Amino acid sequence: MLWLKNAHVIDPAQGISGIMDVAVQGGRVLKLGQGIAAADPLGGGEADVTDCAGKYLFPGLVDAHVHMREPGQEEKEDIASGSRAAVRGGVTSLICMANTSPVIDNQALVAFVQERGRQAALARIYPMAAVTKGMRGEELTEMAELAASGAKGFSDDGRGIQNGEIMRLALEYAKLTGCPVVSHCEDEFLAGRGVMRRGPASAARGLTGVPAAAESVMAARDVLLAGETGGRLHLAHVSAKGTLAALRAGKAAGWDITAEVNPHHLILTDEDVPLTNSDFKVNPPLPSAEDRDALLAALADGTIDMLASDHAPHTWEEKACPFAEAPFGMAALETALAALWTYLVRPGKLTAERLVDAYARRPAERFALEAGTLKPGAPADMVLFDPDWEETVTVEGMASKSANTPFLGRKLRGYPVKTWVGGRLVFERKA
Amino acid sequence: MSWRRKDLLDIETLTVDEMRLILDTAVSMKEVLTRPVKKLPTLRGKAVTMLFYEPSTRTRVSFETAAKILGADTASLAVAQSSVSKGESLLDTAKTLVAMNADLVVVRHASSGAPHFLAQNLPVGVINAGDGQHAHPTQALLDIYSLREKWGDVAGRKVLIVGDILHSRVARSNAVGLTKLGAEVVLVGPPTLLPPEMAYLGVRSSYDFDREIAGAHAVMALRLQLERQRSGLFPSLREYNRLYGLTRERLAKAAAGCLVLHPGPVNRGVEIMSDVADCPQSVIETQVTNGVAVRMALIYLLMGGGAVEDVVA
């Protein structure tokens, strides 16, 4: 029996945002309400009581876009270290992208990822399977079997599917599974050898630019294909205004489309990219200020459904080189929530309620995970969040094997202080 | 004023006073170049190392000559192409050079920001001898030196930079430097090589060479990388030359005595016609000589400096 008192509970699935007590038993939420009396029959036994005054209680975050790098690139991350990073960031359920080595494109590898997740025994780990064998963009994977084995969606994330016919077939065939096809929108001809968003900032740095259209033209294609097929489409890491136009049009037509945005695309812009710090190198690249503002508005109005970290760890050695030569990607699991709170919620650009809605409830619903809410009977995956906890992001502080985050050295305010998965305390922040 | 910098990485971070100090110091250095015995004892016992990740003969020899005239020892490491995938990392290579007691490292690299990255990580000075599409500060300084030598001052003069602006570190550094010293810079090239984002430089852009050359005091023709045609950036050398080649007819429309510059090596008949490259208004060869003087000035300032009169007396 776990009894959390006087927390500010935010649970958008129930329309709740207010001071409440929460009782947990048997790994599930038993009851929540205002002032649960001590005499309430809570199932008997001694209660472990925590006074949560001044803190928030969220459903554990659900991250639909994480690169755990296992199997094959364990020097960057593995499912055990990534799980520690996840719970440290308040993430209790996550979906692992399929661009590992080998690619997650068969039943055995889907089982492997789930088994590694169970062994790590921290966050709930779900696999994404590839859309095409070997992520070569040529032949579809055995989607029906993959979904039956536990894959929660299909994605060749890391590469765009260049052949429109393959994408159309994927949207059709995935109907057998009910899982979304997750599109990494990137036209490789337009992206070329670009390393940051094309614009005055790339010109000033002499870095080759990726035009925003490299994403938007493929997003528009995929939205139209979702309309034509009636398939289920999810756009990964939306970063450009043009993509939002396609997204709005598709949603207005009633097509089955969702989209995610990464915290760094809402907080940083191309002007923030230092020539000598490749921790700011990410794909899609950091947007213009105008696009960043459009993304934030689209998250607030629901055009963009959810937040996801796109946690993409890389080693120090890989990143300690000139910008153009470093790999794309940012480690983000441990800083996503704190950065969102510091840069968006605190200044009033995003409500705490919408943050929890977008980073817990929506991804759980879209990918059919039992998570994202504190309804009685739901798994007691919870985050106790201290809005005033200050901590500087340091290499030493990272649970992840990698520390390639643009927030390194910055003091963020608002951190998870306790994380529970299935009622079990899996993380506690210490000063 | 006195010199305080450890590195010379780009023109953006230099103050106008620092630019003037370099250019004035180079005047004394150029005098040394006219002597029968071109050798000073100033930097005896110091070591300057060239780290060139891009093929370059002209710039490397210019730096080596400059260092040797000042009395320094030079070592050269030509690394075939960039360090992207295999072998030693840029950082490890540079640390090795420092362990061999290099006092100054001159870097050319295909990746923008590589010299800045080294400067952050090395205790010794770094000179940027050209990084990717980003900056080529010594080229800009020698170009400005060449113009000052003819004009006394560049302020108020109209300078056209013509060609592949998008991919040119020479154009970027010159536009920044000339603007700082009060010149009017106009960028000229086809839309594919002069895209809207170049507006960050805060100077005017134009696709029309014939219109802009009227009243120009200097024209700087950029070397056209011939492989750009294969990437579809322009349709043919023929059409490029027609629209953006510096010909006698075009030069005749410029202000009287308009100077002709080119950073070299020249594609004769592409961005500039032979008769123009060799005409009396051309300072292309003088640029090469001035390059040595300007690099002497920089090496001298970065390695301790002091009153230049004592050195060259």
Angle between helix axes B284-302 and B16-33 (nearest 10 degrees) is: 110
Query: CB under 8 Å to A10, separation ≥6 — which residues?
Result: A16, A17, A56, A57, A58, A352, A353, A356
Q: Does A46 touch chain B (CB under 8 A)?
A: no
Residue A15 half-sphere exposure, CB side, CA atoms within 13 Å?
Answer: 0
In this structure, are B44 and B145 located in the same domain? no
Residue of B nearest to A198 (CA): B197
Of A201, A206, A320, the CB nearest to B135: A206
Give how many domains chain B has, as a whole number: 2
Residue B100 lies in a domain: yes
B113:A208 CB<8 A: no
List strand residue ranges (DSSP E) for A223-273, in order: 233-235, 257-261
Of residues A260, A276, A263, the one with CA closest to residue A407: A263
Query: CB under 8 Å to A345, separation ≥6 — which residues?
Result: A351, A352, A355, A414
CA of A8 vs chain B CAs: smallest distance (Å): 46
CA of B131 vs chain A CAs: smallest distance (Å): 8
Of residues A116, A123, A53, A65, the one with CA closest to residue A90: A123
Instruction: For residue B83, name the pLDDT band (cuts at 50, 70, 90).
Output: very low
Output A281 or B4, whichever has higher pLDDT: A281
> Is residue B78 pLDDT above 80, yes or no?
no
In this structure, are B205 and B260 located in the same domain? yes
Residue of B nearest to A317 (CA): B89
In this structure, are B61 and B90 located in the same domain? yes
Q: Does A288 touch chain B (CB under 8 A)?
A: no
CA of B243 vs chain A CAs: smallest distance (Å): 24
Residue ranges matching CATH 3.20.20.140 in chain A: 60-366
Residue with the two structure tokens 């001044």: A54
Residue B312 lies in a domain: no
Local structure of A413: helix, strand or coil? strand
> Is residue B84 pLDDT above 50, yes or no?
no
Q: What is the mean pLDDT of residues B276-296?
A: 97
Spell out which residues of chain B touch residue A325, defining contact as CB-CB under 8 Å: 82-84, 111
In this structure, are B165 and B192 located in the same domain? yes
A325:B135 CB<8 A: no
User: Does residue A102 contact residue A92 with C-beta atoms inside 8 Å?
Assistant: no
Residue of B nearest to A274 (CA): B113
User: Does residue A266 contact residue A237 with C-beta atoms inside 8 Å?
Assistant: no
> Given this model, what pLDDT does residue B81 score?
52
Residue B141 structure tokens? 């300084």
CA of B237 vs chain A CAs: smallest distance (Å): 23
A204:B200 CB<8 A: yes
User: Does residue B15 contact residue B311 with C-beta atoms inside 8 Å?
Assistant: no
Output A9 or B1, whichever has higher pLDDT: A9
Residue B311 lies in a domain: no
Residue B124 lies in a domain: yes
In this structure, are B44 and B149 located in the same domain? no
- The count of CB pairs under 8 A between chains A and B is 67
Q: What is the mean pLDDT of residues B196-222?
A: 97
> Given this model, what pLDDT does residue A35 score?
77
User: Does residue B207 contact residue B191 with C-beta atoms inside 8 Å?
Assistant: yes
Backbone dihedral angles phi then psi of residue B146, each to the nearest 5 degrees:
-65, -40
Degrees to nearest 5, angle at CA A220 with A218 and A221: 60
Q: Which amino acid is at A106?
A: N
Sign of CA dihedral A186, A190, A193, A197: negative
B131:A207 CB<8 A: no
Q: Does A73 touch chain B (CB under 8 A)?
A: no
CATH number of residue B274's parent domain: 3.40.50.1370
Output A344 or B76, whichever has higher pLDDT: A344
C-alpha B260/C-alpha B313 separation (Å) is 33
In this structure, are B60 and B164 located in the same domain? no
B131:A206 CB<8 A: yes
Instruction: For residue B312, name the pLDDT band (cuts at 50, 70, 90).
Output: low
In this structure, are B144 and B277 located in the same domain? yes
> Given this model, what pLDDT does residue B228 score?
82
**pLDDT tens per residue, range B130-155:** 999 999 999 999 999 999 999 999 99
List per-block mean pLDDT (blocks of 10 residues) for chain A, which spans 431 residues.
Answer: 95 97 96 74 70 97 98 98 98 98 98 98 98 98 98 97 98 98 98 98 98 98 98 98 98 98 98 97 98 98 98 96 97 98 98 98 98 98 98 97 98 98 97 83
Give the range of the structural domain holding residue B131, as residue numbers without chain letter.
Answer: 16-135+291-306
Residue ranges matching CATH 2.30.40.10 in chain A: 2-57+379-428
Give contacts of A 318-337 with B, CB under 8 A.
Answer: 320-325
B166:A203 CB<8 A: yes
Backbone dihedral angles phi then psi of residue A311, each to the nearest 5 degrees:
-55, 115
A322:B117 CB<8 A: yes
> Is residue B229 pLDDT above 70, yes or no?
yes
A322:B172 CB<8 A: no
> Given this model, what pLDDT does residue A231 score?
98
In this structure, are B145 and B215 located in the same domain? yes
C-alpha B71/C-alpha A240 separation (Å) is 55
- The enclosing H or E element of A58 equals strand A56-59
Of residues B182, B186, B209, the one with CA closest to residue B199: B186
Q: Which amino acid is at A47?
A: A
pTM for the structure as a whole? 0.94
Residue B128 lies in a domain: yes
Q: Does A205 touch chain B (CB under 8 A)?
A: yes
Residue B160 lies in a domain: yes
In this structure, are B170 and B243 located in the same domain? yes
Residue of B nearest to A189 (CA): B231
CA of A198 vs chain B CAs: smallest distance (Å): 8
B112:A323 CB<8 A: yes
Residue with the two structure tokens 């879209």: A366
Backbone dihedral angles phi then psi of residue B104, each to the nearest 5 degrees:
-150, 135
Residue A268 structure tokens? 């940083």
In this structure, are B277 and B152 located in the same domain? yes
Q: Does the interface ipTM go beyond 0.90?
A: yes
| Three-class SS of chain B | CCCCCCCECCCCCCCHHHHHHHHHHHHHHHHHHCCCCCCCCCCCCCEEEEEECCCCCHHHHHHHHHHHHCCCEEEEEECCCCCCCCCCCHHHHHHHHHHCCCCEEEEEECCCCHHHHHHHHCCCEEEEEEECCCECHHHHHHHHHHHHHHHCCCCCCEEEEECCCCCCHHHHHHHHHHHHCCCEEEEECCCCCCCHHHHHHCCEEECCHHHHCCCCCEEEECCCCHHHCCCCCCCCHHHHHHHHCECHHHHCCCCCCCEEECCCCCCECCCECHHHHCCCCECHHHHHHHHHHHHHHHHHHHCCCCCHHHHHC
Catalytic residues of A: 310
In this structure, are B141 and B275 located in the same domain? yes
Q: For domain A2-57+379-428, give the fold.
A: Urease, subunit C; domain 1 (2.30.40)
Residue B51 structure tokens? 């780290």
In this structure, are B275 and B162 located in the same domain? yes
Q: For domain A60-366, give the fold.
A: TIM Barrel (3.20.20)
Query: CB under 8 Å to B86, separation ≥6 — which residues?
Result: none
A201:B91 CB<8 A: no
C-alpha B191/C-alpha B168 separation (Å) is 14
Q: Are strands A2-11 and A16-25 parallel, antiparallel or unpaired?
A: antiparallel
Residue B209 lies in a domain: yes
Spell out which residues of chain B touch residue A205, defining contact as CB-CB under 8 Å: 112-113, 134
Residue with the two structure tokens 């994202």: A372
Q: What is the mean pLDDT of residues B45-56?
A: 91
Of residues A223, A195, A205, A216, the one with CA closest to residue A294: A216
* Chain B residues near any Cβ of chain A (below 8 Å): 82-84, 89-91, 109, 111-114, 116-117, 120, 131-135, 166, 169, 172, 195, 197-200
